[in-house]
Structure 1
Amino acid sequence: MRLLVVEDDLPLAEALTTLLTSSGYAVDCVHDGASGEALAAAEQFDLVILDLNLPQMDGIAVLNEMRARDNAAAVMILTARGAAEDRVRGLDFGADDYMTKPFDVREFEARVRSLLRRQAGLRSAKVSLGEITLDLTSRQFFASDQPLDLPPRERALLELLLTRAGKVVTKEAIVQSLTSLDDMLSDNAIEQYISRLRRRIAPYGLGLRTVRGIGYLLEKAS
């Protein structure tokens, strides 16, 4: 999952980026509204975490521009402005959630997970295929009810494929979802991760099919 943080408080921006990256998300971070609006227009994000009091362009203007372009990314407003009229205005302009500073980190993480589940069209906190289950709350994989440990990049790849099981996931979608602008993946690197993951999940009744020229499909092994 790929996230964008638009926050002009540099220590907070760094803390949010570190927190989200350590949870396995690909994170880009900018510090003014104009840069946030431009990046949201140029790249594909699953979730945008957006301050309101931003230099160059305020958060409501960024949100308004996103929705005017039919940008469907989930948006969480994270701001010190907690008045009811600010909340109503943010939600009416198309925000999916509104959280005020200071905030509890555990609640913030839970809201991020909830928004990403909703963005993926998942109602349950767990998703399963074959013998593998992903707990979306802990972001832990289980195989035959036992914890399945994976390297971070393979874990992120399997999460993407499992939440879209039965659908073809393009290479472009993999790059967009798994990497930030500072951490791009080549086609060769993607193929290596796919090959490793295919070997890891085969014992648990799953197959990872290459759809030539398009992408990859996670399905039950035949």
Structure 2
Amino acid sequence: MIGEYGHILLIEDDVDLASMLIDYLTNFGFDVSHALSAEEGILYYKTNKYNILIVDIQLPKSDGFQFVEYISKLNKNQFFLFLTARLSKTDRLKGLHLGGNDYITKPFDVEELSLKLQNYSIKQSTVLPSQLNIGDIKLNRHLLSIEFSDRSKQVVSPREFELWAFLANKPNVVLKREEILLALWGDSDYFLGRSLDVFICKIRKMLKRSRFVEIKTVYKVGFILEVNIDNCH
């Protein structure tokens, strides 16, 4: 029977840490499977369904990044976060750009992690429309695709789609950077801010295909997704 908050696959080669995490997460309402390596994790993944993956970056043989790249090819909608002792800016940005929903640095508070995972699980189970229209653009949540009026489509990462949907749900409203970061990713630190800037840049490039929608920077405040509603017919 799956736990109240779903099924987690933990990829961690530190047996003691894994054992502690399994105990805590089980008590918090999760069902947890544990793999010692990326290779073992792939075998687990191919035979079971998991709501959340917790992936240590430093693994024997294939590392956590390689594991996630492989899993993303099997399921681009998979929800996952990285667990690591590495503090490198390059590593953190790489994890975020791979679509990681969070980046947990060791040492960490297990209770805080458990509560964060519960919030992720609740967020996943929230019923959301499969398609969202904004101006001459269609967002498809299941396909993670953005379709434009010229019938061209762009598939984006789950993290990028979250930003697209957030902006599309608040057209013509000035959104503060901190508001966006906290609403989507629960923090507003430097690394997430950099990722937000990268995603905004990508969205701007894609919006060149739209006749009615553009994103503008509000100096020292944030962004606004402008939609010329009067011309959308």
TM-score by length of 1: 0.52
Quote how far apart the aligned CAs of 1:3 are. 0.7
Match of 1:69 among 61, 74, 80: 74
Structure with higher RCO (Cα < 8 A, 6+ apart): 1
Range 30-39 or range 9-18, more displaced: 30-39
**Is 1:41 aligned to 2:36, yes or no?**
no
Match of 1:99 among 104, 115, 138: 104
The 8 Å contact of residues 80 and 100 in structure 2, kept in 1 or not, is answered as yes
Look up the SS of the partner of 2:82 in the other structure: strand
The 8 Å contact of residues 72 and 78 in structure 2, kept in 1 or not, is answered as no
In structure 2, C-alpha distance between the alignment counterparts of 1:96 and 1:26, rounded to whole Å: 20
The 8 Å contact of residues 24 and 111 in structure 2, kept in 1 or not, is answered as no
Give the structure 1 partner of residue 123 of structure 2.
Answer: 118
Give the structure 2 partner of residue 180 of structure 1.
Answer: none
Give the structure 2 partner of residue 145 of structure 1.
Answer: none
Match of 2:26 among 9, 16, 21: 21
In structure 2, C-alpha distance between the alignment counterparts of 1:13 and 1:118, rounded to whole Å: 25
**Is 1:59 aligned to 2:68, yes or no?**
no
In structure 2, C-alpha distance between the alignment counterparts of 1:88 and 1:122, rounded to whole Å: 30
Letter in 2 for 1:62: F
In structure 2, C-alpha distance between the alignment counterparts of 1:122 and 1:12, rounded to whole Å: 34
**Is 1:50 aligned to 2:49, yes or no?**
no
Quote how far apart the aligned CAs of 1:122 are. 6.2
Look up the SS of the partner of 1:8 in the other structure: coil
Letter in 2 for 1:26: D
The 8 Å contact of residues 76 and 97 in structure 1, kept in 2 or not, is answered as yes
Match of 1:10 among 7, 15, 18: 15
Give the structure 2 partner of residue 192 of structure 1.
Answer: none
Quote how far apart the aligned CAs of 1:42 are. 2.5
Flag the 1:94–1:7 CA change in 2: closer, same or farther, 3 A. Answer: same
Range 3-12 or range 110-119, more displaced: 110-119
Counterparts of 1:201-212 in structure 2, within 5 Å, are none
Quote how far apart the aligned CAs of 1:71 are. 4.5
Give the structure 1 partner of residue 207 of structure 2.
Answer: none
Counterparts of 1:173-188 in structure 2, within 5 Å, are none
Deviations 1:4-25 (CA, angstroms, capped at 9, x unpaired): 1110001000001111111221
> Structure 2 stretches of 5 or more lacking a match?
1-5, 129-233
Quote how far apart the aligned CAs of 1:55 are. 1.1
**CA-atom RMSD in angstroms:** 1.6
In structure 2, C-alpha distance between the alignment counterparts of 1:63 and 1:102, rounded to whole Å: 22
Letter in 1 for 2:63: D
Deviations 1:125-182 (CA, angstroms, capped at 9, x unpaired): xxxxxxxxxxxxxxxxxxxxxxxxxxxxxxxxxxxxxxxxxxxxxxxxxxxxxxxxxx
Moved runs in structure 1, 4+ residues, more than 4 A?
Answer: none
In structure 1, C-alpha distance between the alignment counterparts of 2:91 and 2:10, rounded to whole Å: 20
